[in-house]
Amino acid sequence: MPELVFFSGTMDCGKSTLALQIGHNRSARGLQGVIFTRDDRAGEGKLSSRLGLVTEAVEADEGMDVYAHLVDHVTRGGRADYVIVDEAQFLAPVQIDQLARIVDDLGLDVFAFGITTDFRTKLFPGSQRLIELADRVETLQVEALCWCGARATHNARTVGGEMVVEGAQVVVGDVNHQADEVGYEVLCRRHHQRRMTSATARAGALSPDVLPVTSG
């Protein structure tokens, strides 16, 4: 039976790499898929991995009917044996409904990949709808690590190394960025709640206020 599967995890846990691997494995068996993405770090119409892999994709702009796009693709003679959606957290809930319709009406597997919660630990609307509708929700087993070495469970937005907790839900950035740019970092829950990033932890370790004091 075809399924809508949601692969979820924090940043840096290999979601896009797995999406590319699934596409590669199926193409090696002669299957052809349609890949959708939204706001990928490599630019419009790209699905990329931090390992350096990249492939072409359809940019699922706000307002796009992904079901109608796929029907039009097939009607024009295109082939679609499965669908991959990366950065699925950025899709609108109605677009997630359209993915479910692709499974139910067209009989195709849909593999969606995305982050569950934003930098404020709030559910992305697209991810929430996927959790509500998906046949399966798979948490990726490749663990991203906090700077302290613990399992990273939360995504933090940073500006100049400082964690911020206000602002628009969607601001495109990456874990690799210039010090004064908007970026992201994965943290364990303890350090996310303390707003302690790798940069602020390093600065604290170098501060004379926290150096041990000896007498004599």
Whether the CB-CB separation of 143 and 13 falls below 8 Å is answered with: yes
Task: Name the active-site residue from 3, 59, 62, 87.
Answer: 87
Determine whether 87 is an active site residue.
yes
Three-class DSSP category at 183: strand
Query: Based on the number of CB atoms within 10 Å of its own CB, is 140 exposed (0-12), middle (13-18) or buried (19 or more)?
Result: middle
E strand or H helix that includes residue 47: strand 46-48
Which residues, including other chains, have CB under 8 Å from residue 41's CB and lie 6 or more apart? Answer: 48, 172, 174
Q: Left if phi > 0, otherwise alpha if psi is -120 to 50, otherwise beta: which for 152?
A: beta
DSSP bridge partners of 85: 36, 112
DSSP 151: B
Asked whether 131 and 1 are in contact (CB, 8 A), the reply is: no
Q: Are 94 and 132 in contact (CB under 8 A)?
A: no
How far from chain centre, in Å, is Cα 140?
11
Question: Looking at the annotation, which residues are catalytic?
Answer: 87
